[in-house]
Amino acid sequence: MPQFDLPLDQLRRYAPAVAEPTDFDEFWRTTLEAAAERPVLVDVRPEPTHLRLVDTWDVTFAGFAGNPVRAWYTRPAGADGPLPVVVEYVGYGRGRGLPHERLTWPVAGYAHLLMDARGQSGHYGPGDTPDPHAGAPGGPWPVTWGILAPEDYYYRRLITDAVRAVQAARALPGVDPGGVVAAGNSQGGGIALAVAGLVGDLAALVTTAPFLCHVQRAIEITDAEPYGEIARYLAANRAAEEAVRRTLSYVDGVTFARRAVAPAHFGVGLRDIVCPPSTAFAAYNQYGAANGRTAPPRREIHTYPFNGHEGGEAVQVRRQLAWLASVLAVPGVATGTATETATEPEETA
């Protein structure tokens, strides 16, 4: 797929006005306050993995409406003292899978909490968290569940789960509560971005190809899933457009990004038709713009001109590791910029 979005020189300046509900902050404040009325940790039990270099626990925490949400908690075996923790969110259609599938962060010396995505298991990988609230009016896909009202929308529940995952991580043994990082790709990247806008004391954000950014543009310029699922729903439910656009405005990553304060690392493939690059740049260019601070947060973005939704893959992960080590000053982890060949210049601020 050739580049179809704005050229890079325009992307670097792209900061569109995104519809922001007048009650956006109140909506999320009351939603999160209701979730916080319940103790966050429900169950933590050791998980046998037959891996010698890491230890893993099966965690259950109370998410939206107190619903049990599952997660894997993994640490370097024998690590002393509290560690920074990377709270990771999975992509669309995925569950948490098996504990040995995602070991990059614990092998790098971090604690790692991988949150399940309620109701999404079975498409790309198994999960263990049902969504008991999926019956509200809307379409058949997760991105359209309850889409006619923000109170019923699936992503209200998933984002609430994600904030609660941060709270759960801070309550786990061996975690530095001041060193919590939100991370993810695609849907996971969009959820991590939302967490950065809702949790004011994150240590860092690591996001690649974030979903749910500048959604109003995304549903107009791409038919790729998951945005294409919204378009197909509206093609059959023509009178629902106003309600759908209103609901989506409560979960737009640009609005969350404007409120964020944590240092941020972005990545985007310029041929990405799943999460178009202009939507990611819309969030990146406005990151921290409305957070009430005098100085903007530290941030940088890496672009991959010949890559699509896969982005920079292992190259991007190496950059994330070097950047995060420099931000957190992790003992025993080398800092500095990873050396690449044939790469693009980074954008920093």
Q: What's 147's domain CATH number?
A: 3.40.50.1820
Joined together, the tokens standing for residue 170 give 């801070």
Question: Which structural domain, as residue segments, surrounds residue 130?
Answer: 8-348
> Considering the entire predicted model, what is its pTM?
0.94
Q: Which residues of 220-243 are buried (b: 16+ CB within 10 A; e: fewer)?
A: eebebebbbbbebbbeebeebeeb
Q: Flag whether 2 is in a domain.
A: no
- pLDDT interval class at 81 (50, 70, 90): confident
Query: Looking at residues 102-111, what average pLDDT do you find?
Result: 97
Q: Flag whether 170 is in a domain.
A: yes
Q: Flag whether 58 is in a domain.
A: yes
Q: In this model, does residue 335 exceed pLDDT 80?
A: no
Catalytic residue among 121, 186, 249, 278: 186
Q: Flag whether 306 is in a domain.
A: yes
Q: Flag whether 303 is in a domain.
A: yes
Catalytic annotation on 309? Answer: yes
Q: Flag whether 3 is in a domain.
A: no
Backbone Cα Rg of the chain? 19
Which DSSP symbol is given to 339? P
Q: How many distinct structural domains can be found in the chain?
A: 1
Q: Flag whether 41 is in a domain.
A: yes
**Binding site membership for substrate: which residues?**
92
Catalytic annotation on 186? Answer: yes
Query: Looking at residues 191-198, what average pLDDT do you find?
Result: 98
Catalytic residue among 112, 133, 214, 309: 309
Q: What is the pLDDT of residue 327?
A: 97
> 148 versus 336: which is more confidently predicted?
148
Q: What is the pLDDT of residue 349?
A: 56
- pLDDT interval class at 334 (50, 70, 90): very low
Look-up: residue for tokens 């999926």? Answer: 134
- pLDDT interval class at 342 (50, 70, 90): very low
d(CA 212, CA 226): 10
Q: What is the pLDDT of residue 348?
A: 60
Element (H, E) at 256: helix 253-259
Q: Flag whether 1 is in a domain.
A: no
Joined together, the tokens standing for residue 152 give 């019923």
Pairing mode, strands 111-115 and 175-185: unpaired
Q: Which of 87, 82, 83, 88 is nearest to 109 (CA)?
A: 83
Catalytic annotation on 121? Answer: no
Catalytic residue among 116, 131, 272, 302: 272
